[in-house]
Amino acid sequence: MSGRGEAGAEAAATAEDVVPLAQPVLGPEEEALVLEVLRSGQLSLGPRVRAFEEAFAARLGVPYASAVSSGTAALHLSLRAAGVTDGDEVVTSPFSFVATANAVLFERARPVFVDVDPVTFNVTADAMAAAVTERTRALLPVHIFGYPADIAAIERLGLPIVEDAAQALGAVHADGVPVGGRGHPAIFGFYANKQLTTGEGGMITLSDPDAKQRIDSERNQGRAPDMDWLDHDRLGFNYRLSDVASALGLAQLRRLDGMLADRARVASRYREALGGIEGLELPCEDAGGDRRGWFVFVVQLPRGVDRDETIRALAQRGVQSKPYLPAIHLMSFYRERFGHREGEFPVCEAIAARSVALPFFPAMSDGQVERVARELGGVLSVRRAA
């Protein structure tokens, strides 16, 4: 999600009036660290990349982290490290950002979708187990909207796991392990709306030193760490994260606890403010010891309400919102390539059809939350009366 809505939809309210979907927290700390890199003259392949990786790994309690240019690049290299290749199957969720499934296609493997849980919106171990065949090379669970998927149960299926934790920085499993801290390759993304941003960027956390070495080589054109730049012993990519971006990441990491606490505060304000709207369903509460890492605040509109109309009416009242997320298997490219159709994953489809992301960011004031709730309540009561 970008911070901008459609130009036309914003016309009714002036720019200062608009409550944006997302907004990064950037201050003098970010400016100082970035400026230091600019003045050092070393903008890439310098010391900040490793410093960011080490700080990130320490935060999640894993031995290694590899910084890359995006969450999508992180998915691609993690799947390669898991051995995914031509003709393999990777079991994953249709209720995710499209990059999750696209990364499987990069390696000419097939994403095998399974339906999601109606409460958490995550894939379950049982659904994954039912989709496993002799061609299954890896399982790719997604911690959607920052709610922890049940990785402990998925581990019992005994297959390689890559976790899409791009939305789940700050989430914690019931056993106390941070999401992304179990040692399987787990990926994070640092686009501007994420819990931590480097503008664009990504990270892989993992515990296997061989996988770490392969990933570090493949992000840098296939060069081995001790090898002269003239020789490259395998196929690689340019998926490097710059020192400028890494410096930004280091500053963001230092303020991460504060930003996460602010997101949690905004979420609880939303619960209070939206509680009275009939038929509106809010994100599930933490249960069984799992803790969400707040990323977006996505509501399910009351049944029968026209979502597009609701989003347009909110925009006219100066509140940005967005259908989020669409089901991957129903996107035109996936329909055409794999023959997917409506009705295949009914839980995912029902959720995807009613989901709306509301403005959600750490600096959001109580007044802004109340305004969003008031406008949404107003729009829905008009629609109901019509």
Ligand X SMILES: *Cc1c(COP(=O)(O)O)cnc(C)c1O
Q: Where in the sequence numbering do the catalytic residues fall?
A: 194
Q: Which stretch binds ligand X (CB under 6 A): 36-44, 64-72, 236-244, 373-381?
A: 64-72
Sign, CA dihedral 371-17-1-60, equals negative
* CB 186 to ligand X: min, Å: 11
- The H or E element spanning position 308 is helix 307-316
Q: Which residue is nearest to ligand X (CB)?
A: 71
The alpha carbon of residue 30 and the mean position of all alpha carbons in its chain are separated, in whole angstroms, by: 22
Q: Closer to ligand X by CB, 71 or 185: give it.
A: 71
Residues ≥6 apart with Cβ < 8 Å to 222: 232, 233, 234, 235, 236
Binding residues for ligand X restricted to 159-188, rule: CB under 6 A: 164, 166-167
User: Does position 116 bind ligand X by CB under 6 A?
Assistant: no
How far apart, in whole angstroms, are the C-alpha atoms of residue 346 and residue 63? 39
Q: Which stretch binds ligand X (CB under 6 A): 2-10, 18-26, 70-78, 273-281?
A: 70-78
| Total H helices, total E strands in the chain | 14, 10
In our burial notation (b when 16+ CB lie closer than 10 A, e otherwise), range 266-282 reads: bbebbeebbeebeebbe
Encoded tokens for 208: 């296997």
Q: Closer to ligand X by CB, 269 or 292: give it.
A: 292
Q: How many positions of this chain bind ligand X (CB under 6 A)?
A: 14
Q: Closer to ligand X by CB, 72 or 310: give it.
A: 72
Q: Closer to ligand X by CB, 191 or 345: give it.
A: 191
User: Does position 189 bind ligand X by CB under 6 A?
Assistant: yes
How far apart, in whole angstroms, are the C-alpha atoms of residue 120 and residue 283? 8
User: Does position 195 bind ligand X by CB under 6 A?
Assistant: no
* CB 166 to ligand X: min, Å: 3
User: Does position 70 bind ligand X by CB under 6 A?
Assistant: yes
User: Does position 191 bind ligand X by CB under 6 A?
Assistant: yes
In the complex, the residues that contact ligand X under the rule CB under 6 A are: 70-72, 96-97, 99-100, 142, 164, 166-167, 189, 191, 202
